[in-house]
Amino acid sequence: MLSVKNLKVEIAGIEVLRNVSFTLEAGKATVLIGRNGAGKTTTLRAIMGLLPSKGGSVQLDGCDLMKQPAYARAGLGIGYAPEDRRLISDFSVEENILVPALALKMPMAERRRKLDEIFTLLPQLTTLRSRPGGGVSGGQGKIVALGRALMVAEKVLLLDEPFQGLAPALALEYARTLATLHDKKRDVAILVTESSPHLLKAIAEQTLHIERGALHEVVV
Ligand SMILES: Nc1ncnc2c1ncn2[C@@H]1O[C@H](COP(=O)(O)OP(=O)(O)OP(=O)(O)O)[C@@H](O)[C@H]1O
């Protein structure tokens, strides 16, 4: 499904990703583990086209993504929830979730269908629906960012450190939500980054370890 080959990224002249290669399969969850600064966020941003690559390739179902801008990659079915959520404070939770649909000019009927599906998958968002994005807690914001990613994640769901900064009970709730999602969305490949793997053990079918921009597969 999504294939990353020999991906190289430089930031300010420094090699941040070195020949990173891995494959994500439909219905499978992959966990990318690494310490702070190892290159997890850079990997996701490069897949999304939010950072230029120095070399290598990213393909989705055989289609070369390297020349596609970020919005086009989202339009091809890749949803991304960044670590820092990036919610629009003045937009309601529902409007925040709809942002990618508006950007991609998704037909109204499809928007409504996806929105219903997201509120069913993430019932904890129902009561927050009309609250402003700036009025939700950090933990709630992570779920909103997950909902917004699901608006377009027909094929691939990229989640950057979703547990970062969450209280243990909320992290556990998020992990359960992710397990349910993984069960229900069997045609979607999931990639989650984390600094510690323990909350993702239940869903991880592939574990990758990144250290100073280089990747190692961990056999568990
Ligand atoms: N805008 C930037 N300018 C300079 N260096 C950067 C920039 N963004 C990332 N880096 C460097 O690239 C490396 C990888 O960063 P990245 O954010 O991908 O790490 P990470 O594994 O996601 O860690 P974290 O958990 O801290 O986000 C780090 O050494 C970081 O300092």
Q: What are phi and psi of 24, to 5 degrees?
A: -110, 135
> Tokens 């966020």 identify what position?
41
Please give the average per-residue pLDDT across 37-50, as a whole number: 95
> What local confidence, expressed as pLDDT, does residue 217 receive?
67
**For residue 11, how far is its CA from the centre of ligand 1 (angstroms)?**
9
Q: Please, are residues 25 and 1 in contact by the beta-carbon 8 Å criterion?
A: yes
Q: Whose CA is nearest to atom 16 of ligand 1?
A: 39
Mean pLDDT of the 106-129 span: 94
> Average pLDDT of the chain?
92
pLDDT in tens, 188-207: 999 999 987 788 888 899 99
Query: Going along the chain, which residue ranges are E strands?
Result: 2-11, 14-24, 29-33, 55-60, 63-64, 78-81, 156-159, 189-194, 206-211, 214-218
pLDDT at 220: 57
What ipTM, to 2 d.p.? 0.89
pLDDT digits (tens, 9 = 90+) for 59-111: 999 999 998 999 899 999 999 999 887 899 999 999 999 999 999 999 999 99
Q: How far is the CA of 39 from the centre of ligand 1 (A)?
A: 6
Instruction: Give me ligand 1 centre to Cα 14, in Å.
Output: 11
- How is residue 100 written in tokens? 């990618």
Give the residue whose CA is nearest to atom 1 of ligand 1: 11
Helices and strands, counts by H and E, the chain: 6, 10
Compute how many other C-beta atoms are within 10 angstroms of the C-beta atom of residue 119.
16
Q: Who contacts 204 (Cβ-Cβ below 8 Å, separation ≥6)?
A: 29, 30, 31, 197, 220
Q: Which of these, 164, 115, 112, 158, lies nearest to 142 by C-alpha position?
A: 164
CATH topology of domain 2-219: Rossmann fold (3.40.50)
The reply to whether ligand 1 has any atom less than 6 angstroms from the CB of 13 is no
Which residue from 10, 42, 163, 215 has its CB within 8 A of the most atoms of ligand 1, so it is best to mutate? 42
pTM of this structure: 0.93
Considering only CA atoms, which residue is closest to atom 5 of ligand 1?
A: 11
**Minimal-distance CA residue to ligand 1 atom 10:** 11
Contacts (Cβ under 8 Å, ≥6 apart) of 137:
none
Q: Is the CB of 39 under 6 A from ligand 1?
A: yes
- For the chain, the structural domain boundaries read 2-219
